[in-house]
């Protein structure tokens, strides 16, 4: 009896599933051969001791029997286990042969927004120094690129939130535009509840009703893709009624006259027509927002994943600037990041146009700084590459012949996924680094087993721009290696060992600190030893610096210190509904799943909460198309078809369907989504496309 007594291991760790980065303790209790797990939240992060269902069950996928534990090579259509040295030799042989024949850019690298800062940094260096290719981009292109480019343009700096979350309850009015915080970042919801308790008026902008819109005092059920026009309507009301902050505009911004000129031509009735919202509702919203002294605007993918996402975010920033709502407590702008390291993942150089520290790959000074740090001549540093979707096109064209994917599942997450499937199948060599055989992994020639959040050490940057250190809670199972080790190993066989001689994640972080020094995202003052005791905001230029929680109190990060306003036209989505495709489709998340679901669908507790995809449809629309509640339907666009169960929802717009994006195969909504790109940030138009719906008839 006694030998069966419980033994307990306590592991401190951090949830990998969203940008809040809640911390927790995982308790492993062993009785004989049986193991039980218990999760306890820790109180030391922005979520103040709260965990959502994803965090409470995150460990389940890491223990799943389908974890890849050895390198595996495809032989005659089947994966077979091979040694690491065989795997590395295979990569060297394949990549070197292709690059000798077709040049360095024949190999591409594709990263992810869930990688740690160290891994994101090293992946960028690996592409440019290890492989000498310009082709690197990552799945964050589909996530944060619109908000990041808009903030950079307007403020000279892109950090998710301009304020600490602690300031949200100070706001008197809050706009939540295209963000479903209640399901995507549930542990942040109490900040908004507290604001409401303090008397704040909350306005939600979303074509459908969600748990977040239910919290709001006013829900604007806007037509999909018409958010920029809605903001123009609000600006028209504010400027016509002199509700703008003249002094702030004069002293702290530029470009207002052009905005004023644009807005003077705006017709409110036309805006009402475009947005599908009553004119009085737009007027009421504008007056309410502009009449308080502290207001905040939060945007997310609903308004950003559009073919004019950059301009839409710019217009929300115009609203914030026109009313002087930035740089003071309880007033500011925030883009609510989705991925586990959505903020850090976009700062350290895994983007086609970017070097570490948010440096530009086209700026000679920036190139010199990084080339010197990396110990290569500046002329050997490749130039600007292309965005994630454009990479898929180049693969489909046969120009990129091999791809190295780390931390992403593009077969599911790429819009117009049929093209992604055709492209990936055309590759001469596909290497996928992952924990599981994902849908993309099934197409791979080589699979390399990578570590999970429980095994990784490294830093992450949360949606506020606060850097945390995640310690490894246990060692890697089987022959699993950390992503950074895999990059160093591949670099070694490619003859680049001298540039990748790290022995631990901290070595990489120390190089990243120098790489970021003096850049827009300055981490130089942040060290592992400081992170043992604190979570530090960037910019943090020196070790004595506390980091900045609230940005732009006195000046913006642009050369003249002023924020830039920009006139935005009444954009309409590039793809309009038609007789053949009469409905709008919009996409999003459900609480129990993360991204392509590769991890959460392997967590029994999470999977059980939402086992399959669904199509939200208004009952009137369903009747018109002969669809019964709970029956299977096809959704078609000019690009392809998906199939899922119809689910009646009388709160969604009658002209709009909603489908979550966590499933692959015939349930993959990206079989039908629109691949047109925003001209500035290259964000695809995921959130609005034209579709038709029909019942599945079993013959």
Binding site for ligand SF4 (CB under 6 A): 15, 17-18, 20-22, 47, 51-52, 54-55, 185-187
Write the DSSP symbol of residue 126: I
Say which residues have a Cβ less than 8 Å from residue 294's Cβ, sequence separation at least 6.
170, 171, 172, 173, 325, 328, 329, 330, 331
Q: How far is the CB of 523 from ligand SF4 (least distance, A)?
A: 21
Q: Which is nearer to ligand SF4, 21 or 312 (CB)?
A: 21
- Order of strands, edge to edge, in the sheet holding 466-470? 458-461, 466-470, 536-537
Q: How far is the CB of 452 from ligand SF4 (least distance, A)?
A: 14
Q: Which is nearer to ligand SF4, 20 or 683 (CB)?
A: 20
Q: Which is nearer to ligand SF4, 55 or 156 (CB)?
A: 55
Q: How far is the CB of 462 from ligand SF4 (least distance, A)?
A: 9
Q: How far is the CB of 144 from ligand SF4 (least distance, A)?
A: 16
Q: How far is the CB of 341 from ligand SF4 (least distance, A)?
A: 11
Q: How far is the CB of 155 from ligand SF4 (least distance, A)?
A: 26
Closest CB to ligand SF4 belongs to which residue?
55
Give the count of beta carbons closer than 10 Å to the beta carbon of residue 537.
Answer: 23
Q: Which is nearer to ligand SF4, 17 or 138 (CB)?
A: 17
User: How far is CA 23 from each of CA 61, 339, 578, 599, rounded to the nearest angstrom?
Assistant: 17, 16, 48, 19
Give the count of beta carbons closer than 10 Å to the beta carbon of residue 358.
Answer: 23
Say which residues have a Cβ less than 8 Å from residue 286's Cβ, sequence separation at least 6.
233, 234, 235, 236, 237, 238, 243
Q: Compute the Cα dihedral for 131, 133, 139, 144 and give only its sign.
A: positive
SS3 (DSSP) at 652:
coil
Answer for the pair 324, 330: CB distance below 8 angstroms, yes or no: no
Identify the residue whose tokens are 């429980």.
454
Answer for the pair 644, 615: CB distance below 8 angstroms, yes or no: yes
The Cα–Cα gap between 548 and 5 comes to 49
- How deeply is 372 buried, as exposed, middle or buried, from its count of CB atoms within 10 A (0-12, 13-18, 19+)? exposed
Torsion of CA 409, 415, 421, 427, to 10 degrees: -70
Q: How far is the CB of 592 from ligand SF4 (least distance, A)?
A: 10
Q: Which is nearer to ligand SF4, 460 or 693 (CB)?
A: 460
Q: Which is nearer to ligand SF4, 99 or 610 (CB)?
A: 610
Say which residues have a Cβ less than 8 Å from residue 612's Cβ, sequence separation at least 6.
644, 645, 663, 667
Q: How far is the CB of 187 from ligand SF4 (least distance, A)?
A: 4
Q: Which is nearer to ligand SF4, 186 or 385 (CB)?
A: 186
Cis peptide before 539 (omega within 30 of 0): yes
Q: Which is nearer to ligand SF4, 68 or 184 (CB)?
A: 184
Q: Which is nearer to ligand SF4, 54 or 208 (CB)?
A: 54
Q: Which is nearer to ligand SF4, 185 or 213 (CB)?
A: 185
Q: How far is the CB of 47 from ligand SF4 (least distance, A)?
A: 5
Q: How far is the CB of 26 from ligand SF4 (least distance, A)?
A: 12
Q: Which of 96, 302, 342, 331 is nearest to 209 (CA)?
A: 302
Identify the residue whose tokens are 């807005």.
263
The Cα–Cα gap between 6 and 510 comes to 41
Q: How far is the CB of 186 from ligand SF4 (least distance, A)?
A: 5
Q: Which of 427, 456, 452 is nearest to 440 (CA)?
A: 427
| 327: region left, alpha or beta (phi > 0 left; psi from -120 to 50 alpha) | left
Q: Which is nearer to ligand SF4, 37 or 625 (CB)?
A: 37
Q: How far is the CB of 19 from ligand SF4 (least distance, A)?
A: 7
Q: Which is nearer to ligand SF4, 13 or 350 (CB)?
A: 13
Helices assigned H by DSSP within 434-536: 483-493, 505-516, 528-531
The Cα–Cα gap between 179 and 177 comes to 5
The Cα–Cα gap between 148 and 407 comes to 21
Q: How far is the CB of 417 from ligand SF4 (least distance, A)?
A: 25
Q: Which is nearer to ligand SF4, 188 or 286 (CB)?
A: 188
Q: Which is nearer to ligand SF4, 68 or 463 (CB)?
A: 463
The Cα–Cα gap between 628 and 623 comes to 7
Q: How far is the CB of 392 from ligand SF4 (least distance, A)?
A: 28
The Cα–Cα gap between 363 and 516 comes to 15
Helices assigned H by DSSP within 528-579: 528-531
Answer for the pair 623, 631: CB distance below 8 angstroms, yes or no: no
Q: How far is the CB of 687 from ligand SF4 (least distance, A)?
A: 21
Q: How far is the CB of 212 from ligand SF4 (least distance, A)?
A: 14
Say which residues have a Cβ less than 8 Å from residue 614's Cβ, sequence separation at least 6.
644, 645, 646, 647, 659, 660
Q: Which is nearer to ligand SF4, 17 or 333 (CB)?
A: 17
First to last CA, the chain: 60
Q: Which is nearer to ligand SF4, 190 or 541 (CB)?
A: 190
């Amino acid at each position: 009896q006694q030998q069966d007594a419980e033994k307990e291991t306590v592991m401190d760790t951090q949830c990998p599933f969203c940008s809040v980065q809640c911390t927790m303790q995982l308790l492993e209790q062993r009785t004989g051969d049986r193991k039980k797990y218990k999760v306890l939240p820790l109180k030391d992060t922005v979520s103040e001791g709260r965990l959502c269902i994803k965090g409470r069950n995150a460990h389940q996928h890491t223990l799943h029997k389908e974890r890849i534990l050895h390198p595996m090579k495809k032989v005659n259509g089947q994966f077979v286990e091979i040694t690491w040295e065989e795997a590395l030799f295979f990569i060297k042989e394949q990549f070197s042969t292709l690059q000798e024949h077709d040049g360095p850019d024949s190999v591409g690298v594709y990263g992810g927004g869930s990688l740690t800062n160290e891994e994101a940094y090293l992946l960028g260096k690996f592409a440019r120094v290890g492989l000498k290719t310009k082709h690197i981009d990552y799945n964050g292109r589909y996530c944060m690129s619109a908000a990041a480019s808009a903030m950079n343009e307007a403020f000279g700096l892109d950090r998710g939130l301009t304020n600490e979350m602690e300031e949200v309850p100070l706001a008197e009015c809050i706009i939540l535009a295209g963000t479903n915080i209640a399901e995507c970042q549930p542990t942040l919801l109490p900040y908004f509840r507290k604001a409401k308790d303090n008397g704040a008026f909350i306005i939600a902008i979303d074509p459908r009703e969600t748990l977040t819109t239910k919290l709001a005092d006013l829900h604007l059920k806007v037509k999909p893709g018409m958010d920029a026009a809605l903001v123009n309507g609000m600006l028209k009301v504010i400027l016509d009624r002199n509700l703008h902050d003249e002094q702030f505009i004069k002293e702290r911004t530029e470009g207002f006259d052009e905005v004023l000129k644009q807005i003077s031509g705006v017709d409110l009735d036309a805006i009402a027509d475009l947005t599908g919202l009553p004119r009085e509702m737009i007027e009421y919203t504008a007056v309410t927002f502009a009449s308080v002294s502290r207001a905040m605007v939060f945007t997310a993918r609903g308004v950003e994943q559009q073919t004019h996402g950059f301009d839409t975010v710019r217009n929300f920033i115009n609203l914030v600037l026109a009313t002087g709502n930035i740089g003071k407590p309880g007033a500011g702008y925030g883009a609510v990041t989705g991925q586990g390291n959505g903020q850090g993942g976009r700062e350290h150089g895994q983007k086609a146009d970017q070097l570490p520290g948010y440096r530009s790959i086209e700026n000679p000074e920036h190139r010199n700084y990084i080339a010197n740090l990396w110990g290569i001549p500046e002329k050997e540093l490749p130039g600007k590459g292309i965005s994630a979707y454009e990479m898929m096109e180049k693969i489909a064209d046969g120009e990129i012949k091999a791809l190295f994917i780390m931390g992403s599942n593009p077969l599911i997450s790429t819009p117009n996924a049929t093209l992604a499937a055709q492209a990936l199948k055309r590759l001469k060599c596909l290497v996928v680094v992952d924990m599981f055989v994902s849908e993309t992994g099934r197409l791979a020639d080589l699979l390399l087993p990578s570590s999970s959040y429980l095994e990784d050490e490294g830093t992450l940057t949360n949606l506020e721009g606060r850097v945390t250190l995640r310690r490894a809670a246990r060692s890697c199972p089987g022959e699993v290696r950390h992503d950074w080790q895999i990059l160093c190993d591949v670099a070694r066989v490619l003859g680049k060992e001298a540039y990748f001689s790290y022995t631990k994640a901290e070595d990489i972080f120390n190089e990243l600190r120098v790489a970021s020094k003096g850049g827009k995202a300055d981490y130089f003052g942040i060290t592992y030893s400081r992170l043992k005791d604190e979570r530090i905001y960037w910019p943090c230029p020196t070790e004595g610096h506390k980091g900045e929680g609230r940005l732009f109190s006195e000046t913006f990060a642009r050369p003249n210190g002023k924020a830039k306003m920009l006139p935005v036209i009444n954009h309409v989505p590039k793809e309009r509904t038609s007789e053949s495709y009469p409905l709008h489709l919009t996409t999003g998340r459900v609480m129990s799943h993360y991204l392509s679901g590769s991890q959460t669908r392997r967590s029994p507790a999470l999977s059980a909460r939402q086992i399959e995809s669904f199509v939200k449809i208004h009952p009137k629309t369903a009747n018109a198309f002969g669809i019964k509640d709970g029956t299977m339907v096809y959704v078609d666009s000019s690009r392809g078809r998906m199939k899922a169960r119809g689910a009646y929802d009388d709160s969604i717009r009658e002209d709009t369907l909603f489908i979550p994006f966590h499933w692959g195969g015939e349930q993959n909504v990206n079989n039908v989504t629109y691949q047109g790109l925003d001209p500035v940030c290259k964000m695809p138009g995921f959130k609005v496309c034209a579709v038709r719906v029909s019942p599945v008839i079993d013959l």
